[in-house]
């Protein structure tokens, strides 16, 4: 078959399966796919984004699935270009996102031959993907590997009658009987609810469930309910819950970023039940899990009985909250103080993206509580720092006043992703980089405290970089701030802004000591 006909068939099938957006990285092998997509876009059927780097393109496509809830396909050429997609595939798998991979391949006779750009591509993503469009349920990525001849003849293709197909994720019928019985069992030390990342459609049901249950909650900003559940929130939860662990923990949504979730590995007497979209327990020890959309599972439980704050955790939380406020006032130029300042400005933004662990934890603990921030995104599937800028740009591509907050090392991982600034909305877009000298999250891990200075430096991987030069290279304005009282927002004339923040290391340490 002429490669043109093959390409038309593969891309038409993708559109009928619900793919309305494509991110393309061009090459000789996938040229025919790009030509077909150009005609589909000209016919007004699909949206096509263009990138030069496959790894970043995969994460940008992942961001689009986060924003729309619909499949987005990334289209690449053969060889190692395919392998570059693995990080985004892994992240999409653990987020249960419908990322679609369309990879051009050389004809079958070249497989494993050592010929140029001929690697074994079928099965390259192992158990992270489905490879059958007919049985794909949208709960994990889909990989379509297409053997194409480099030479093709452009044929006729009428896309006038082509429409994007309906798409929904099929989680099946949720089994909630065991969960309902588990919730009814009363225990001496009560229950705590950990609310992780939620889909927008899940938030209302989770809010009403938590309000009716009235148990203490630890609520991530990525849930969109951090401020709404403030009256039930356990502030400074890591130490409080480790010292006085509840009998039961109910996790709703994504895996929490706080240390207490990891402490549960060593608390086998605490019964844990997770309700999440990827169906994974998130722990290395025994735990129960119910897979599905929370806006289906929670209503199926019926009316829930009030549990309340059995262990009086909320009373202690008030004192810890006051200590945090006092520390923020005393150390405004610390990393934590800067996060409070950023949260005030970003609260009026179109959305906030946090990438990754340290910004999320500091936002959860220190961001302002007065103005609800409903749209807070992050990549928390595999908890890696790769592809964060690209995911942010993909998730907020059409949004004005989109803020992203990144560590310096995280930003350096993905500066190629800024190529997409030319294709996304830049009005009011602010990329805040916390320039604290590398991966400083490791300085706060107790089990690493006794490591040598040399080993710690290797882990931090400090890389002195001229962020002003990088901003100029991508057509961004650059602002550098070292004190919060000198900062007055990050306005611009429609250009994206790279806001480089240099916290006071001494104040950061002082903040941490004041809470110990």
Overall fold of domain 331-515? Rossmann fold (3.40.50)
Is residue 370 within 8 A of residue 215, CB to CB? The reply is no
> Does the pLDDT of residue 456 top 80, yes or no?
no
Percentage of residues in the chain having pLDDT higher than 70: 96
Is the peptide bond preceding residue 356 cis, with omega within 30 degrees of 0?
yes
Q: Which CATH class is domain 3-147?
A: alpha beta
Summarize pLDDT for 438-447 with one digit per residue, the tens: 555 556 566 6
The share of the chain scoring above pLDDT 90, in percent, equals: 77
Q: What is the dihedral of CA 167, 171, 172, 176, to 10 degrees?
A: -140
Mean pLDDT of 292-314: 93
Instruction: Specify the pLDDT at position 263.
Output: 94
Check pLDDT > 90 for residue 461.
no
47 or 486: which carries more pLDDT confidence?
47
Instruction: Please tell me the distance from the alpha carbon of residue 375 to that of residue 351, in angstroms, as a whole number.
Output: 5
* pLDDT one-digit tens code per residue, 125-137: 999 999 999 999 9
For 58-108, write each residue's pLDDT tens digit.
Answer: 999 999 999 999 999 999 999 999 999 999 999 999 999 999 999 999 887
pTM for the structure as a whole: 0.94
Mean pLDDT, range 220-248, rounded to an integer: 91
Sheet of strand 248-252: strand arrangement: 217-219, 191-195, 248-252, 271-276, 288-291
* Residue 56 pLDDT > 60: yes
> Pseudo-torsion of CA 212, 218, 219, 225, nearest 10°?
30
Q: Average pLDDT of 410-436?
A: 95
Residue 262 backbone phi and psi in degrees, to 5: -75, -30
Which pLDDT score, from 0 to 100, does residue 485 have? 86
pLDDT at residue 46 tops 80: yes
User: May I ask the CATH architecture of the domain 177-314?
Assistant: 3-Layer(aba) Sandwich (3.40)
Arithmetic mean of pLDDT over the chain: 92
Range of lowest pLDDT (71-75, 334-338, 353-357): 353-357
Mean pLDDT of 100-121: 83
412-444 burial string, b = 16+ CB within 10 Å, else e? bbbebbbbbbeebbbebbbbbbbbbbbbbbbbe
Domain extents in the chain: 3-147, 177-314, 331-515
Residues 6+ apart with CB under 8 A from 257: 220, 357, 360, 361, 364, 380
> Could you tell me which of 394, 391, 393, 388 has the C-alpha nearest to residue 356?
388
3-state helix, strand, coil in the chain (%, to 5): 40, 15, 45
Instruction: Using pLDDT thresholds of 50, 70 and 90, give the confidence band for residue 415.
Output: very high
Query: Does the fold of domain 331-515 match that of domain 177-314?
Result: yes
Lowest-confidence region among 4-18, 24-38, 475-489 = 475-489
Of 73-82, 314-323, 410-419, the least confident: 314-323
pLDDT band at residue 374 using 50, 70 and 90 as cut-offs: confident
Give the tens place of pLDDT for each residue, 146-187.
999 878 889 888 898 999 999 999 888 887 999 999 999 988
Mean pLDDT in residue range 298-305: 94
Does the pLDDT at position 437 exceed 90?
no
Asked if residue 237 has pLDDT above 80, the reply is no
Q: Are 502 and 435 in contact (CB under 8 A)?
A: yes
């Amino acid at each position: 078959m002429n490669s043109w006909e093959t390409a038309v068939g593969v891309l038409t099938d993708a559109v009928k399966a619900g793919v309305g957006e494509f991110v393309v990285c061009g090459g000789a092998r996938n040229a025919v796919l790009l030509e077909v997509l150009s005609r589909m876009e000209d016919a007004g059927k699909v949206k096509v984004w263009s990138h030069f780097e496959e790894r970043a393109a995969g994460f940008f496509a992942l961001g689009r699935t986060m924003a729309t809830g619909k499949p987005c396909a990334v289209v690449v050429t053969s060889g190692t270009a395919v392998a570059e997609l693995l990080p985004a595939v892994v992240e999409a798998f653990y987020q249960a996102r419908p990322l679609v991979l369309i990879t051009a391949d050389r004809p079958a006779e070249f497989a494993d031959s050592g010929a140029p750009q001929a690697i074994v591509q079928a099965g390259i993503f192992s158990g992270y993907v489905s490879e059958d469009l007919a049985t794909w349920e949208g709960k994990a990525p889909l990989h379509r590997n297409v053997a194409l001849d480099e030479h093709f003849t452009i044929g006729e293709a009428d896309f006038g009658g082509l429409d994007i197909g309906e798409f929904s994720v099929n989680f099946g019928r949720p089994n909630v009987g065991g969960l309902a019985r588990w919730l009814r069992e009363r225990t001496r030390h009560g229950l705590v609810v950990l609310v992780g990342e939620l889909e927008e459609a899940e938030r209302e049901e989770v809010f009403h469930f938590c309000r009716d249950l009235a148990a203490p909650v630890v609520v991530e900003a990525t849930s969109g309910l951090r401020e709404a559940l403030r009256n039930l929130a356990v502030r400074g939860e890591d130490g409080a819950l480790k010292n006085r662990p509840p009998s039961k923990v109910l996790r709703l949504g994504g895996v929490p970023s706080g240390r207490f979730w990891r402490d549960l590995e060593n608390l086998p007497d605490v019964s844990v039940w997770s309700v999440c979209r990827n169906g994974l327990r998130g722990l290395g020890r025994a735990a129960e899990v119910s897979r599905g959309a929370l806006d289906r599972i929670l209503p199926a439980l019926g009316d829930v009985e009030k549990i309340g704050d059995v262990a009086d955790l909320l009373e202690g939380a008030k004192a810890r909250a006051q200590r945090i406020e006092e520390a923020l006032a005393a150390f405004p130029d610390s990393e934590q103080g800067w996060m409070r300042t950023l949260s005030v400005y970003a609260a009026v933004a179109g959305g906030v993206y946090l990438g990754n662990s340290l910004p999320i934890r500091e936002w959860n603990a220190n961001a302002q509580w007065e103005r609800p921030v409903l749209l807070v995104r992050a990549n928390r599937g595999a908890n890696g720092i790769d592809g964060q800028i690209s995911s942010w740009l993909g998730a907020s591509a059409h949004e004005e006043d989109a803020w992203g907050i990144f560590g310096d090392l995280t930003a350096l991982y993905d500066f190629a992703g800024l190529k997409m600034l030319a294709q996304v909305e830049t009005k009011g877009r602010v990329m805040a980089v916390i320039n604290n000298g590398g991966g400083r999250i490791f300085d706060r891990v107790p089990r690493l405290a006794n490591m040598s200075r040399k080993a710690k430096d290797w882990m931090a991987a400090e890389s002195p970089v001229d962020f002003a030069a990088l901003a100029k290279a991508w057509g961004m304005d650059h602002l550098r701030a070292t004190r919060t009282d000198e900062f007055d927002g990050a306005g611009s004339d429609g250009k994206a802004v790279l806001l480089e923040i240099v916290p006071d290391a001494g104040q950061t340490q002082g903040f941490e000591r004041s809470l110990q």
